[in-house]
Amino acid sequence: MDQSFLVMLSSLLHLQNNLDPTSSLLSDTTTSTSSATSPTSLLISTSAAPLLFFTIASVLSYIASTRPSSSSSPSTTAPSSPPASEFSVSAFRALSTERIWAMEAPLRDAQWRSSFGLSYPVFTTVVDKLKPYIAQSNLSLPSDYAIAMVLSRLTHGHSAKTLASRYSLEPYLISKITNMVTRLLATKLYPEFIKIPVSRRRLHDTTHAFQELTSLPNICGAIDTTPVKLRRLPSDLNSAASYQCRNGYPAVLLQVVADHKKIFWDVCVKAPGGFDDATHFRDSLLYNRLISEDIVWDKVINMRGHPVRPYIVGDWCYPLLSFLLTPFAWNGAGTPPQKSFDAALMKGRQVVEEAIGLLKGRWKILQDLNVGLNHAPQTIVACCVLHNLCQIAREPEPELWKEPEESGSPARALESEKDYYYFGENLRQALADDLYQRLSSR
* Angle, vertex CA 240, rays to CA 234 and CA 245, nearest 5: 120
CA–CA dist 440, 335 (Å, integer): 14
CA–CA gap between residue 411 and residue 275 (Å, rounded): 13
Reported pTM: 0.78
For residue 256, what is the enclosing H or E element? strand 251-258
Q: Which residues neighbour 396 within 8 Å (Cβ) at sequence distance 6 or greater? A: 113
Please provide residue 361's backbone torsions phi and psi, each rounded to the nearest 5 degrees.
-75, -35
10 Å Cβ neighbour count for 275? Answer: 19
User: Which residues are 272's β-sheet partners?
Assistant: 252
CB 186 within 8 A of CB 378: yes
Q: Is 345 exposed, middle or buried (0-12, 13-18, 19+ CB in 10 A)?
A: buried
Beta strands in 39-196 (DSSP E): none
Q: How far is CA 42 from CA 45, 71, 82, 197, in A?
A: 9, 33, 46, 94
Instruction: Indicate the domain borders of the chain.
Output: 89-188, 200-440
- β-strand partners of 55: none
With a CB cutoff of 8 Å and minimum separation 6, the contacts of 193 are 385, 388, 389, 392
Question: Taken in order 229, 235, 238, 241, is the CA torsion positive or negative?
Answer: positive
Q: What is the 3-state secondary structure (H, E, C) of 306-326?
A: EEECCEEECCCCCCCECCEEC
pLDDT means per 10 residues, the chain with 442 residues, are 50 50 39 39 42 52 48 40 50 60 80 90 94 88 90 94 84 93 97 94 95 96 97 85 92 97 97 94 96 87 88 96 93 89 96 97 96 95 98 93 78 94 95 94 80
**Helix runs in 263-335, H state only:** 277-282, 285-291
| Phi/psi at 145 (5° precision) | -65, -45
Nearest to 116 by CA among 160, 156, 144: 156
Long-range contacts from 6-13, C-beta under 8 angstroms, 24+ separation: 8/60, 9/57, 9/60, 12/53, 12/56, 12/57, 13/39, 13/42, 13/43, 13/53
- Nearest-angstrom CA–CA distance, 426 and 14: 107
